Amino acid sequence: MTAAHRAVLEKGGPVLRFDHPLRADGSRADMPVIVNLFGSKGRVAAGLGVGVDHLGDLGDFLAALRTPSAPDGLRDALSRWPMLKAALLTRPKICSKAPVQEVVSQGDEVDLATIPVQTHWRGDVGPLITWPVVLTRPFGSKIQEVGHYNAGVYRAQVLGRDKLIMRWLPHRGGAAHHRSWASNGEPTPVAIVIGADPATLLSAALPLPETVSELTFSGAIRGARPRLVPAKTVPLLVPAEAEIVIEGWVSPDKMAPEGPFGDHTGYYNTAEPFPVVQVTAITHQRDPLYLSTYTGRPPDEPAIIGEVFNKLALPTIRAQIPEIRDLWLPPAACSYRMAVVSINKRYPGQARRVMMALWGMLPQFSYTKIIVVVDDDIDPSNWDDIAWALATRMDPGRDVMVLENTPMDYLDFASPQPGLAGKIGIDATNKIESETSRDWGDVMATNPEDASFAVDLITRNLPDLFK
């Protein structure tokens, strides 16, 4: 299934539905499996409730959430009505009955083998849930305080009939909630939502401000209030229209080795200890669909989502670092591991200031190993432009900044220590004033009038050339 999924994704193909998945022992599973839901930028944008051409508008909205400003008069207040309406749509509606609880298994009836969880790669240690929205809340909060919930996409390894391993890194919201419960000697209630609507799933992956709940923000994307229902065995509210919900309690102290699994780096990660989940219930719709994906060397669905999120993040980044003109996270570099940034350069040392600002701005950029800064005449998403800037505007002895012992993704085994590694920043901008003691060269360019004349001349004499 993974091989078929990857082949279709690489061709820009459709969503796939496997009606009769087979288990490892050859028996047939009852639940169909859905993959490649976010296998194109158009489908990711649709899941966010916009077209590809309007991703910038959603990015502006996300930037406004981070730095809201007071309206400047009645006209400005009225112009903000779409944002105000979106905020109202984040208020959840609590239901007493829901499709996701049409079938309920509790206690001895719980069996994770009823869900066709894939083993994606031949080196994987076992089945891995890859597209869950994991819901948690902090210790001391109330069940109805949805604004305090965290929704994150964390993979979960099937350990047995009623046990999972929850892999969340220490800086993630779910891990922080787990620490708050564990420090009080209590297990953490958790709901693992599979087959949530695209708005909820993508909200869980968006780099939202910490003050904005992913679960409630999905209402603004969807254009409708989130419908939630109390879980059966844990004190949490869960999406009413999800396909499947796995309820349970995360142990405050019991750990188990998670992995190895094939990961987005294109390598298998090593086994590491993570908390064990005791599953207390599985609820689902009467005829549920199991949503799955694989992670591997790009292209994969997370890489495609990352390309879209790159566009969404740009307005937020510009609000904090105004001189940035454009930014590209190359998908082939596992998205966030490398960033190419174009700036409107005005003073010496500006490129280095931008590097340090990016590394400290969002949690995602704390894992960016390489930042290349170029001038705004360079297309940061064009490898030829980048190579030219590196070859003609960068000196390795002067324009390279190396940092040591900085935070890094645990999955990066190139790091000398788990979670700790170096970073490199490369200034590939034109050097000005005190940055150089030499006269800097002038960029060659065709006269615009000559270029226009040439295109007209060629079009008239070689009409098929530009077709």
3-state secondary structure of 328: strand
Quick one: which of 264, 284, 141 has its CA closest to 213?
A: 141
- What would the two tokens of residue 46 be? 């649709």
- What would the two tokens of residue 295 be? 């992670």
For 345-370, b/e burial (b = at least 16 CB within 10 A) is beeeebbeebbeebbeebebbbbbbe
For residue 155, what pLDDT is reported? 94
CATH superfamily for domain 2-291: Electron Transport, Fmn-binding Protein; Chain A (2.30.110.10)
Q: How many helices (H) and strands (E) does the chain have?
A: 12, 20
Pick the catalytic residue from 124, 162, 197, 263: 263
User: What are the E-state strand segments in 259-301?
Assistant: 272-284, 290-291
If you search the block for the tokens 């003050």, which residue do you land on? Answer: 211
For 2-30, b/e burial (b = at least 16 CB within 10 A) is beebbebbeeeeeebebeebeeeeeeebe
| Helix ranges, 289-330 (H) | 301-320
Where in the sequence of the chain do the CATH 2.30.110.10 domains occur? 2-291
Q: How far is CA 462 from CA 101, 401, 455, 457, in A?
A: 66, 49, 10, 8
Sign of CA dihedral 178, 184, 187, 192: negative
Quick one: which of 345, 399, 339 has its CA closest to 367?
A: 339
Quick one: which of 306, 198, 302 has its CA closest to 242?
A: 198
Where in the sequence of the chain do the CATH 3.40.1670.10 domains occur? 321-435
What does DSSP assign to residue 102?
Answer: S
CB 175, CB 160: distance < 8 Å: no
Distance CA 334, CA 368 (A): 10
For residue 85, what pLDDT is reported? 61
> Any bridge partners for residue 185, and if so which?
none
Pick the CATH number of 321-435 from 3.40.1670.10, 3.50.50.60, 3.40.50.1010, 3.40.50.300: 3.40.1670.10
Respond yes or no: is residue 76 known to be catalytic.
no
Q: Exposed, middle or buried, 32 (CB in 10 Å: 0-12/13-18/19+)?
A: middle
For residue 203, what pLDDT is reported? 87
- What would the two tokens of residue 399 be? 């324009």
For residue 270, what pLDDT is reported? 85
User: What are the E-state strand segments in 14-172?
Assistant: 16-18, 33-35, 93-94, 103-106, 128-129, 132-136, 150-152, 156-160, 163-166
Query: What would you measure as the largest C-alpha separation in the chain, in angstroms?
Result: 81
Angle at 218 between CA 217 and CA 220, to 5 degrees: 70
Angle at 97 between CA 93 and CA 103, to 5 degrees: 135
Quick one: which of 58, 69, 133 has its CA closest to 313?
A: 58
Q: Taking the CB of residue 453, how many other CB atoms lie within 10 A of it?
A: 11
What does DSSP assign to residue 206?
Answer: S
| Residues 6 or more apart whose Cβ sits within 8 Å of residue 107 | 280
Sign of CA dihedral 213, 276, 21, 295: positive
Reply yes or no: is the peptide bond before residue 299 cis, omega within 30 of 0: yes
For residue 369, what pLDDT is reported? 94
Taking the chain (467 residues) in consecutive chunks of 10 residues, what is each chunk's mean pLDDT?
96 96 89 96 90 84 68 58 60 92 96 95 95 96 92 95 94 92 97 94 80 78 86 97 98 96 89 96 97 93 88 85 93 87 96 94 84 96 96 96 88 83 96 92 89 89 78
Q: How far is CA 329 from CA 57, 94, 310, 336, 362, in A?
A: 20, 39, 7, 6, 14
